Chain A
Amino acid sequence: MVAVTVVEGVAAPATVEAPTGGQPGRTGGGDRFGLIACAVGVLLVLVLLLAPVLAPSDPTSIVGDARGHPSAAHWFGLDALGRDVLSRTLYGGRETLVIALLSTFFAALVGVPLGMLAGYVGRWPGGVTMRVMDVFLAFPGLLLALVIVTIRGPGTTTVVAAVAVSFAPVFARVLYGATQRVRNQEYVAAARVVGCGPARILARHVFPVILPELIVVLSSAIGWTTLLSATLNFLGFGVRPPAPEWGADLAAGLSHISQAWWISTAPGVAVTLVILLANLVGDHLGGRLTRGGGRRRRPARRDTGDAGVPVAEAVAKAKE
């Protein structure tokens, strides 16, 4: 994920450009993609919001032959029961995206204050908090999510909880590192001297500084929460059968892949698109926000654009 550049960008903002090392040409390409990605992302959200208007039919009613080919009437074909794949994909996306956004929100709600407090307080309370986060991070995300599924039983709220639990430590990790870096800056010390309490300092002096980094992590996290919630639905731990959802519909398409590839194609493309957009937008924001609005030109760095190297990378960097 973008965090490669993010974390480094904040840590070492003033990279000296070696005069002989600069690579000519090729700048701003990433920016253009980023802007397009933002636009497509907005469009996608609009399309999903307007699903009731745009969808040709009800996502759960049977409107034709089972496994009907894509046709003028049913652009993306019909599924194993004869339901319209396009309608299911439009409605299913609402489900997937709501889960992804909610779980990202809850993960940030827990992880961000936790990481900031731990980073600001430091010493043993901060250390212990982060060791606990490390315990959570010692489980691959999906496994942690499956633990939550085990505890709560399947269902949409479970998926939200599961995804949130597996991402909260990631937010804590990244924010911990960012806060630690800001903590020792002069303006924070000055605020302390003036007598500001920790809550006020964190809110007024630390948060605005690390906000860009947070936004970048947030936007990329949406891609990964989308993948994880689709995975849990794919495994059958999410929505109940007739309800449409991308991961669940991908699972439904699996057994018909040899006769009706189109059943899983639309939801597959949709998940891919969302992750792609999240990565590109995150990368774009990473370039904008953490490099001073792109005023400081860093051709070499721009050229290395790190679109979408996953959360693990953010954590790896934050750990250093």
Chain B
Amino acid sequence: MLAYALRRIVVSVPLLVGVSLLVFLILRLIPGDPAQILLFGANPTPDMVAELRHQLGLDQSAPAQYWLYAQRLVRGDLGYSYVTNSPVMSEIAARLPYTIELALAALGVALVLGFVTGILAGMWPGSVIDRIATVVSVLGLAVPYFWLAQLLVLIFAVRLGWLPALGLGGPTAIVLPALSLGLGFAAIITRLLRSSLIEVYQQPYLLVARAKGMAPSRLLVRHALRNAVGSVVTVIGLQIGNLFAGAVAIEIIFGRPGLGQYLVSSIQQKDIPAIQGVVLFVAVVYIGVNLLVDLAHGVLDPRVRLGWSR
């Protein structure tokens, strides 16, 4: 297991380098000179521009600039916002809690709903529960979350008045954003878990386990879920990225001052270090989460860590 973990960790290092390189390239690929953009409106003299270019390291060669950038990244320095002049890292830190809260709440919705319905549907394929779950999850996969959010606001905030539609007021404020973001994800989990469970329940080893006298509940927990959950876990990891991505629209809809809203306003204001910082941050978190997921998968299924493909 340790060897597997090490191998996994080593593999993500070049990935991190690649990600940082790509984010670095944003700056290089943007038409126009960052110094000019920064000094826009100040009617700068060529000297001022040259001075700023030097400060930003823009007068150096591209590899030298990347090397500088990478060194700062390792120290946790994401540069300074063009707009506020404060460190991007602290801007991110100030907004991160809102996004984390949203992502975790949505993940909670997805896991609870996805697992409950996925298990029910997978244990009794063809039953009424299964049919309802299938229809709802096929729809759930198709409804765009930024329209779902509007529907939920319309029903639960405007019509019924049960829940607040906007802002951060109290614990109930997270419910609608979390549902908007989590329901589609729940549908994915439901469908995957259902099909994995159906497949696992047809495996001979489940018959053999039943021939040992195991009760359905134990059979589910000890044998079926353990096997079915492996592929689901991988997809959950990959979907975490979509939670962060989805947070962009959801934060704007519900007026939550999180990372997503920050990213969009940074793009509108051409605040390049902020854009780079947020994008890089999310990518690194995403890679980290998937690393953890891979390790979890290795714990759950010994064949994975031995590199056996099924």
Contact = CB atoms under 8 A, between A and B. Distances in A.
- Contact between chain A and chain B defined by CB under 8 Å: yes
B244 interface: yes
A146 B280 CA distance: 12
Contact of B15 (A135, A147, A280): A135
A235 B31 CA distance: 22
Chain B: interface residue count, which band? 35 or more
B3 interface: no
A135 B19 contact: yes
Interface stretch (B38-46, B53-61, B140-148): B140-148
B238 to A, nearest CB: 4
Given A234-B249, A320-B309, A18 B18 contact: no
9 contacts: A138-B15, A142-B246, A147-B23, A150-B272, A151-B26, A231-B144, A303-B198, A313-B235, A315-B238
B215 to A, nearest CB: 20
Interface in A1-42: 4, 18, 20-21, 23, 25-26
Contacts of A320: 309-310
A264 B147 contact: yes
B138 A308 contact: yes
A143 B245 contact: yes
Nearest to A1: B141
A180 B154 CA distance: 50
Contacts of B253: 254
Nearest to A280: B138
B153 A257 contact: yes
B18 A135 contact: yes
B83 to A, nearest CB: 14
Contacts of A312: 235, 238-239, 241-242
Main secondary structure of the interface of B (DSSP, over half): helix
Contact of A150 (B26, B138, B238, B283): B26
Contact of B249 (A231, A268, A313): A231
Contacts of B238: 312-313, 315-316
Contacts of B163: none
A249 to B, nearest CB: 10
Contact of B282 (A143, A264, A307): A143
Given A142-B245, A275-B144, A304 B26 contact: no
A149 interface: yes
A271 interface: yes
A250 interface: yes
Given A231-B144, A312-B238, A315-B238, A306 B195 contact: yes
A304 B142 contact: no
Of B15, B204, B238, chain A has the most CB atoms within 10 Å of the CB of B238
Contacts of B267: 146, 149-150, 237
A230 interface: yes
A254 B153 CA distance: 10
A309 B191 contact: yes
Contacts of A26: 125-126
